[in-house]
Amino acid sequence: MITVMGLGFVGLTTALGFCEKEFKVYGYEIDHKKKQLFRQGKIPFYEAFLEEKLKKHMNKNFTLVDDLQQAVNQSKAIFICVGTPSNSDGSANIDYILEGINSILNCIKKPNYKVLVIKSTIPPSTTSEHIKPHIKKQGFDVGVDIGLTNNPEFLREGYAWDDFIKPDRIVIGQEDDKSGEILERIYQSFNVPIFRVTLNTAEFIKYLSNTLLATLISFANEQSLIARSIGEIDIKKAFRVLHLDKRWFGTPAPMTSYVFPGCGFGGYCLPKDTMALVSLALKNSYSPELLNSTLKVNEVVKNFVVNDIVKKVEEKQNIGILGLAFKPNSNDVRDTPTKGIIEGLLQKGYKNLIAFDPMAMEEFKKAYELPIEYSPSLEELLLRVDYVVILTAWNEFIKNEKIIKEKNVFDYRYIFN
């Protein structure tokens, strides 16, 4: 049995979706007008298929309750789907979540173990730094007396039913294995990849998704403003042609390969063309803030890499630099992030740098006269260094994960598990 607290867009979809999967679900909602509509087989907002599913499951798999105690007593997992509106400073207001948790905890008697599932969207660290301590103050030991998980939703308005019933992934942020296992069993029948991660990671994945979409929309809008400032550009057609790029469809290099962290972009095109468009926009009296920020972040991430190494490595120690090309399967070193990172380390007094790249060493030597050593092979480099810094995601490095990890590794391309 499952209880869903809060029957708005997310909560009602969640409740009825689990009913469709043959779960018995209790729905709890404090808004009396909503409850009256639900009992009449109506919903106070439009969402395709939802009213039909409400009529199908009401008083069968779905039970609308006025008494939360009854629902909690019968349920192993309680999904909290209440609102998290913005405060005046932009932070998320979690008062409704905390109030809901208080109501649930008042219904639980130890050692009757229940799992609280936070489905409301909340910023990373909220569950661990605010919700968990709040539960502890109420006299419950999280992981012992009660389970605590975070289970972000990825529902699009207008398509919520399909998104819930046929998800592409399930994310479970867990405080303890027991609660994670209970929630994973609930989702087994969905037959999709289930990722059990830390509480912070689950919360971050949700924000990663939403902020990417927000950024893409703002990127498109900024580009349209740049185009208008230049003039004589068919904006609609330009974007339609952009959408024909093979990478949107996974070939030859999928767009997902660009939406992945590293240590900056380089090569002949991206830096040069981004700077050129910024310059042209400024000449036409438009300041492209997003593109300016793109260039700024590209420098900031390289500075982060340098400072991160400096914090953890002594100057006298040997450091292996793995990767000189700006990307794998290429010997192109033009504007490669590695150059700026090596220069930053040299400026900080790090002289014992030994570099290796499967394809681009000669090109790098010719292009940049830097006072570093070059190793003829990965194996020889590893014999000489204490630390390894991965700056290009070559397959050769991935295949040699075991021997590379015998050293202290800075994996700035996130190629290792």
Give catalytic residues, as residue numbers. 269
- The closest of 109, 165, 119 to 139, measured between CA atoms, is 109
3-class secondary structure, 190: helix
Q: Is 323 left (phi over 0), alpha (psi -120 to 50) or beta?
A: left
- The closest of 48, 54, 60 to 12, measured between CA atoms, is 54
Q: Are 142 and 179 within 8 A, CB to CB?
A: no
| Exposure string for 79-113, b = 16+ CB within 10 A, e = fewer | bbbbbbeeeeeeebebebbbebbebbbebbeeeee
* Distance in Å from the first CA to the final CA of the chain: 36
Task: Write down the residue that tokens 């509480």 correspond to.
Answer: 199
Interhelix angle 50-57/9-20, rounded to 10 degrees, is 50
- Distance between alpha carbon 34 and the CA centroid of its chain, in Å? 33
| Side chain identity at residue 271, one-letter code | P
